[in-house]
Structure 1
Amino acid sequence: MPEKNIDWKNLGFDYQKTNKSYISIYKDGKWDDGQLTEDNFIKISEASTSLHYGQQCFEGLKAYRTKEGDIQLFRPDENAKRMQNSCDKILMPRVPVDKFIDAVKQVVKANEEFVPPHGTGATLYIRPFMIGTGHTVGVKPAPEYIFRIFVLPVGSYFKGGLSPVNFVTTEYDRAAPNGTGAAKVGGNYAASLEAHKEAVEKGYADCIYLDAKTHTKIEEVGAANFFGITKDDVFVTPKSPSILPSITKYSLMYIAEKILGMKVEERDVVIDQLD
């Protein structure tokens, strides 16, 4: 299938409709078989728990075009397992790993003309998500759920791509200890909007969150995990129960230790101890 006539090198991180999305419904205690759809709108009850109580979660992964023109996914099984953990946290039904991966493959194949060419720096972003639906006014889990995936071609999340960007610490808290910080749920991101807006208004790309309890330790950046490399070539990244377990971060930790032979430390990163 020919690639779309798109300016691949100047893509931002913005929504655009592609050929098809994937949808599966959970009802009466089980998931249906799921299917592809050309409709990019969802009709749900006005009393859905996802609208009122934040019972929803999502994932983000990418498909890449190789030099030979093939399409590859980056560790979708890990996204599937992380989504299951998010579902467990807010009492939603798990999507089986094999169903998740099959759905991702279906929607990528249906939109392969939107997978950017190798060497452009662009990728196909894949957004799986689940929402609680049905008529529920009380604060309790939904009776029904929708699992859906859409895709779109994107450039770098930060303007300037791989160029260095500046960050600033914020006094706001993104997630509290023993809360939902380690789950990829929408409420965590709603809590980050004001802090991000203030950082951008001051000329920064994003903000860095410190731990909610003491405001002395780095936790994560608004849109990404944090890591640093010391002058002694030690790969250091924060460890906290309120940090989203990043698939990219743990992949980098593996590469640093197993391939590059670096020492890796996942521990507290006290901001006043940075040089």
Structure 2
Amino acid sequence: MAAFGTEFTDKMVINHYADGQWSGLDVVPVEPFRLHPATHVLHYASECFEGLKAYRTAEGNIHLFRPDRHVARLLNSAAQLLLPVPDEATLVSSLHRAVAEVKDQIPAYPGSLYLRPTLFGTEEDIGAAARPTQKAIYYVLTSPVGDYFAGGLKPLRVKVDHEAQRSTPEFGAVKTGGNYAAAMRQVVRAREELGADQVLFAPGGIVQETGAANFVLIENGELLTKPLDGSILPGVTRDSILTLAAEAGLKVTERDFNVTELLERAPNGEAALTGTAAVLTPVGELVHNGVTTQVGNGEMGPWSSKLRDQLCSIQSGTADDPHGWRVALNA
């Protein structure tokens, strides 16, 4: 299978906004957009998106994983960016329809169908720097994907940056391309200079998240992570892992903690990144000010392994789903 996110189905769901109303959901072939050079998104970054998955069980049943949380997050992102957005029911319907249209292209687990609902401004006006777009497109692109770690799950080497910011304060909760663009330079530099896989942003010394995933620290029976204060993305996988951790007996603490505490606790604990694509990925090394600190024994720890396996079992349909996270496809 092609690299994650580079192969696409042949159909997508689309909805156009103009003159104060949405056109309604339609299914069209996946093909390039034709955009005027003055299109709002190209100049003022009026764009947000989501990323979630649909799975095919061993019995052939298809379900989406926690689509309600992704819809809620998209609505919040659109509100922060002042983008017109379809109502909640339409967004939910768009996800189910996008999956139903290409259900024969969904690979068996551990493969899945990755959904990328996207909303962007299309008004042709380069003078609209101080007002929201009056036209928009919403669409759902789908991509058959394999196991994110086809070569095996490996602990990551992560640079801890106590100066750079991933996003502006209170805008980190918005899933917009601008946040990823802002973090990219730091991530690329860390890879080139330190051989790091990611950057853990800790502006002012307060640990936040990496460029593309939330961060958790597990040590002495406690899972520690930054609270949702607007500066980090309210990850759906993060929420799922925190729920499973509490049920498994870990003390789940959401509070600010600094780099000093992180580096003191890491050698006797576990650290991991959480996200839709990678689920829960272990961190083996933390690099701060040129000094490398090994996390635990440098490998995936027992709690991380247990939580990852448990969540994957729910997503694949091989374990009970007491929280109702699996939502059957409305074909």
Q: Structure 2: which amino acid aligns with 1:125?
A: Y
State the 1:159 CA deviation. 6.9
State the 1:68 CA deviation. 1.3
Measure, in 2, the Cα distance between the counterparts of 1:41 and 1:135.
Answer: 18
Q: Structure 2: which amino acid aligns with 1:251?
A: S
For normalisation by structure 2, the TM-score amounts to: 0.74
Measure, in 1, the Cα distance between the counterparts of 2:147 and 2:159.
Answer: 20
Aligned to 2:243: 254
Quick check: 1:206 aligned with 2:195? no
Contact 1:130 1:146 in 2 (8 A): yes
Measure, in 1, the Cα distance between the counterparts of 2:73 and 2:67.
Answer: 10
Measure, in 2, the Cα distance between the counterparts of 1:198 and 1:12.
Answer: 23
Contact 1:196 1:206 in 2 (8 A): yes
Count the aligned residue pairs. 258
Aligned to 1:135: 124
Measure, in 2, the Cα distance between the counterparts of 1:66 and 1:166.
Answer: 33
Quick check: 1:218 aligned with 2:210? no
Quick check: 1:196 aligned with 2:187? yes
The structure 1 residue matched to 2:143, chosen from 140, 152, 176, is: 152
State the 1:113 CA deviation. 2.6
Aligned to 1:4: none
State the 1:224 CA deviation. 0.5
- Deviation string, structure 1 residues 98-149 (Cα, Å, up to 9, x no partner): 111111111112222321212xx32211100001002212212111100011
Contact 2:105 2:144 in 1 (8 A): yes
Measure, in 2, the Cα distance between the counterparts of 1:123 and 1:208.
Answer: 28
- Deviation string, structure 1 residues 138-172 (Cα, Å, up to 9, x no partner): 21211110001101122355674532222112343
Contact 2:10 2:30 in 1 (8 A): no
Measure, in 2, the Cα distance between the counterparts of 1:266 and 1:100.
Answer: 30
SS in 2 for 1:218: coil
Measure, in 1, the Cα distance between the counterparts of 2:167 and 2:7.
Answer: 30
State the 1:264 CA deviation. 1.1
SS in 2 for 1:162: coil
Measure, in 2, the Cα distance between the counterparts of 1:159 and 1:235.
Answer: 28
Cα root mean square deviation, aligned: 1.7
The structure 2 residue matched to 1:269, chosen from 254, 257, 262, is: 257
Contact 1:114 1:152 in 2 (8 A): no
SS in 2 for 1:177: coil
For normalisation by structure 1, the TM-score amounts to: 0.88
Quick check: 1:24 aligned with 2:15? yes
Question: What does 1:155-194 correspond to in 2, within 5 Å?
Answer: 155-157=146-148, 160-170=151-161, 171-178=163-170, 180-194=171-185
- Deviation string, structure 1 residues 201-233 (Cα, Å, up to 9, x no partner): 23222111113xx1x1110011110112112x1
Q: Structure 2: which amino acid aligns with 1:222?
A: G
Contact 1:168 1:208 in 2 (8 A): yes
Aligned to 2:100: 109
Aligned to 1:243: 232
